[in-house]
Each structure stands twice: as structure tokens, then as C-alpha cells.
A and B are shown apart, each in its own frame.
Chain A
Amino acid sequence: MKAAVITFPGSNCDRDLSVAFAQAGAEVVKVWHKETEIPAGVDIIGVPGGFSYGDYLRCGAIASRSPIGQAVADFAARGGYVIGICNGFQVLTEMQLLPGALMRNAGLKFVSKPLALRVATTESAFTSGYEPGQEIVIPVAHHDGNYQIDAEGLARLEGEDRVAFRYVENPNGSVDDIAGVLSENRRVLGMMPHPERAIENAQGGADGAALFRALTQVLETA
């Protein structure tokens, strides 16, 4: 499996995400935001966390319209796999690859701590390594993780089993405790928690490693 990790000015989880992919057995290429094409042979794009373009205008807004942004959107439109974590999730909603929007945390504070998540669906390449309803601990670190979507959109997400993860205790006001959502074709995942910060026990827990392992398995055999 070959993974491309995008680096925007202000990205700060691109290296961690690269390590997580590599640890799961992937070949990793880093792609700078001024590039206009995703390298050939890439199976999955990782849009990392951080503060792309200083969070100017809205979190993820400028990154989603950057030169590489269009290439990511085109890759997803061709059925490519994309994972957006934290700021990457914000970027994917701004691109409208995923529905809804991420607003300022309801408590207004930056929340940075390990949190329990419940795996809401195992029907995706990202979550097939977990058990249905499994509780996992993954760190969050965000100021704008309050996922909001209108009632119709929420009903659609739930009806189509597209909520990937829910918070056991809601840290940010997200509607229906949503921590991560899947696209209609289940190949694009956006999540606020950082699985790449939980891939070995030295980080305080390794519950995120199964996500990258499952991805490698699915995409190696695809």
C-alpha cells in the first residue's frame, strides 16, 4: 500500500501520520501543498492535523482551496481512499467531501486529552479491525471539533451507517456525540481524534494502530 501524506503550512501531525502508515507496512510519500498532483500509485491520502494556513478565515478553509486540495478532491471523486484527522477532517468538510461542519467547541476551550470512543460501524476499510461497539482510547487535541449537521443530514448519516466513531463522553458539543464520519462510498473518513497518536504503548496506548493495520490489509488485497 502506498500512502500520500499532505503537508500544508501549519500542519503538525504530518510526520506522526507518516510514521503510523509506515508502521502498518505502507510506503509513504509526503506531498507539499503547492503540488497539483497526487503521485502515481497512491492508494490512500492522509490529510493530517495541525493548523493549516494558521486556521485563517475558518479552520481548513484555505487548505481545501489550495492547489493540492483540488487534487485530493479529484482523487476522492475517482473512488480513492482519504483519511482526514483533526484539521484534516475540517479540510474534508470544507471541500464537501464529507457533510456537516466543525464549529468552535461548545465549552470554548481547547480540549487535549485521551478520550474513550465507541466504534459505531465496522463496515469500512478504516474500522474493520475493531469489534462492533468496541471502546477504544484515542487522544483528541482541538478547539474546533464541534461537529454539526442539519437534522436531515444526520438522519441520512445514521440511516446509511456512516458514523464511524462516537465519543463515550462528549467533549465538544458534537451532535449525537459524533467523532468521525464516512463518505457515501465509505472510502473517505474524517475524525477529530488522533489515531496516529496512539500506535504504540509508549504513547500511552496503541488503540489507533488497528485502524492503520486494517487499512493496509484492505488496500494491499484490493
Chain B
Amino acid sequence: MKARVHVMLKDGVLDPQGEAVRHALGHMGFGGVEAVRQGKVIELDLSATDKAAAEAEVKQMCEKLLANTVIEKYTIEIA
């Protein structure tokens, strides 16, 4: 079973890197980019076979390590 975790800065937390990307896109002629937020994708190969159990475990992983919930939010996809 595979899990994919998306980690993004919470809304309202300024993302200096996203801002830099937005500026660069503007310089390159890509007008109309109003905002850029940069995050991480973390892919996990799991031995678990039960989807609900896997999702619960990955949620624990996110809370304890994969995301810093002071500034980041996350979503989990199980496939």
C-alpha cells in the first residue's frame, strides 16, 4: 500500500520561497500568477493492507514528524 503525504504551510503563514518563485515567474513573462505556495510531497511504501489502519498510522507520522503543525498542514492519500 502506498501513501502520499502533502505538507503545505498553513494559510496565513508567509512563504518566502513561494514568493520568490512567484517573482521569478513574473520576470520570465508568466503574468497573472497571483500567488505561489511551495510544499513537500512525501511518498511512503507501507506493508499495511488495511486502508483505514494505514491512514491512521500515517496521520500519527504526520503529527509526530512529517509536518510541523505549528506552521504546516498536511493531507494524506492512500492508494
**How many B residues touch A, CB cutoff 8 Å?**
11
Closest CB in chain A relative to B19 CB, distance in Å: 9
CB atoms of A61 and B70 under 8 A apart: no
8 Å CB interface, A145-178 against B: 146, 148-149, 173
Establish whether residues A104 and B17, one from each chain, have CB atoms under 8 Å apart when the complex forms. yes
Q: Would you call B70 and A108 a contact (CB within 8 A)?
A: no
- Residues in B neighbouring A106, C-beta threshold 8 A: 14, 16
CB pair B68–A108 under 8 Å, yes or no, is no
Task: Report B-chain residues with C-beta under 8 Å of the C-beta of A129.
Answer: none
30 contacts between A and B (CB under 8 A): A57-B65, A57-B66, A58-B68, A61-B65, A65-B64, A65-B65, A93-B70, A99-B70, A100-B70, A101-B68, A101-B70, A103-B13, A103-B14, A103-B16, A103-B71, A104-B16, A104-B17, A105-B16, A106-B14, A106-B16, A107-B16, A108-B16, A108-B17, A108-B20, A146-B16, A148-B14, A148-B71, A149-B70, A173-B14, A173-B16
- By a CB distance below 8 angstroms, the chain A residues around B14 are 103, 106, 148, 173
Q: What is the CA–CA distance of A36 and B71 in the complex, to the nearest angstrom?
A: 29
Q: Which of A57, A99, A148 contacts B13 (CB 8 A)?
A: A148
Contacts of B65 in A (CB 8 A): 57, 61, 65
Tell me the dominant secondary structure on chain A's binding face: loop
Which residues on the A side are within 8 Å of B66 (C-beta)?
A: 57
A186 to B24, CA, bound (A): 43
Interface set, chain B 1-30, CB cutoff 8 A to A:
13-14, 16-17, 20
User: Which residue on A lies nearest to B70, using beta carbons?
Assistant: A101
Question: Which residues of the partner chain A approach B17 to less than 8 Å between Cβ atoms?
Answer: 104, 108
Query: What chain B residues lie within 8 Å of A196 (beta carbons)?
Result: none
Most interface-central of B13, B64, B71 (chain A CB within 10 A): B71
